[in-house]
Structure 1
């Protein structure tokens, strides 16, 4: 039995990382779920998700070596999902990871079964979350809110999750999706 690849997407500030961490905590005793740490060319202490911080040159070496199942660039950073997800999926583990919508077509061609969970939230909620995390300037926040309004995910296997309530409610919704798919 092959595991399902769950790709979590959504604009900055909708709470993807918080929902993934919450789902990981709730499902930690269930060995059939795997939440890989991504490799990111961002310092470890920059805030956000727990990740493997790598220099751009190291990232490129890893990419060339085939260490990533999926990789992309966004907002001046490079992101990579470890290649071991392929073996885990073949063993029947379900993999849950935050990715860019830019790689959805490639992922759909390479992995099956695959479910895309598109996280959304109202603009006011996004603004509050981005301001609270303190990584972006006011103009950057305005830009991200504008991009969020135009954010669109299409294609097969997309489930939408509106993360407009409490963290616990959002995590419960995500866990329901993971367990039902």
Structure 2
């Protein structure tokens, strides 16, 4: 049977990437899509690991060839998710997680309406500002712009199936894992994954 698709979105600095990394470390059954982006790699990032880094011209050519299930411009950079990769993974029965923004989530739902979506929120704008400053990678102007953008992004939280408030990392991780576990235990999913058992018992 095909795998499930999970979407995790959040404003920059809410802790989405940390949560997803910890989830993947605990749950080898989930495969994370590696997005394509035009932004400059941050210190320690490698091409093909955190992102596929391309220039703007190449990205636009990929858009023209309809290679992305979703793509968007965020903070002056382009990000996109491979449609072919998602289909290949899910057709092979593997669960896939997309770490994207709310705009991308809207686009993905058009192709995969059954996707389970989660929005991660910071406990406050003050905490968000502290997290962004703590990265040490962005200027004050960039941080202020991201905080302003976060207000707009959080207005779309009601479009998601679940919302996690990332106040305490361990609790937020437990919440995210619980959502994944519960989704896998839905009746329709269990019937498909254990068809022989259900046929024998029901």
TM-score (norm 2): 0.77
- Alignment map for 1:107-126 (pairs within 5 Å): 107-121=108-122, 122-126=124-128
Counterpart Cα distance in 1 of 2:57 and 2:151? 34
- 1:152 counterpart = 2:149: no
Consecutive unaligned residues in structure 1, runs of 5 or more:
none
Counterpart Cα distance in 2 of 1:147 and 1:41? 19
- Is the 1:5–1:112 Cα contact (8 Å) retained in structure 2? no
- Is the 1:5–1:94 Cα contact (8 Å) retained in structure 2? yes
Superposition misfits of 4+ residues, deviation over 4 angstroms: 46-49
Aligned counterpart, 1:25: 25
Q: Return 103-112 or 93-102, whichever deviates more.
A: 103-112
Higher helix proportion: 2
Measured against aligned partners, the alpha-carbon deviations of 1:92-140 in whole angstroms (never above 9, x if no partner) come to 3221111121233332221032111100012122111100112322233
**SS of equivalent residue, structure 2 residue 96:** strand
- Is the 1:44–1:52 Cα contact (8 Å) retained in structure 2? no
Q: C-alpha displacement at 1:41, in angstroms?
A: 0.6
Consecutive unaligned residues in structure 2, runs of 5 or more:
184-202
Q: C-alpha displacement at 1:47, in angstroms?
A: 6.2
TM-score (norm 1): 0.85
Q: C-alpha displacement at 1:90, in angstroms?
A: 3.0
Counterpart Cα distance in 2 of 1:147 and 1:75? 9
Higher relative contact order (CA 8 A, sep 6+): 1
Give the aligned length. 176
- 1:96 counterpart = 2:97: yes
Aligned counterpart, 2:67: 67
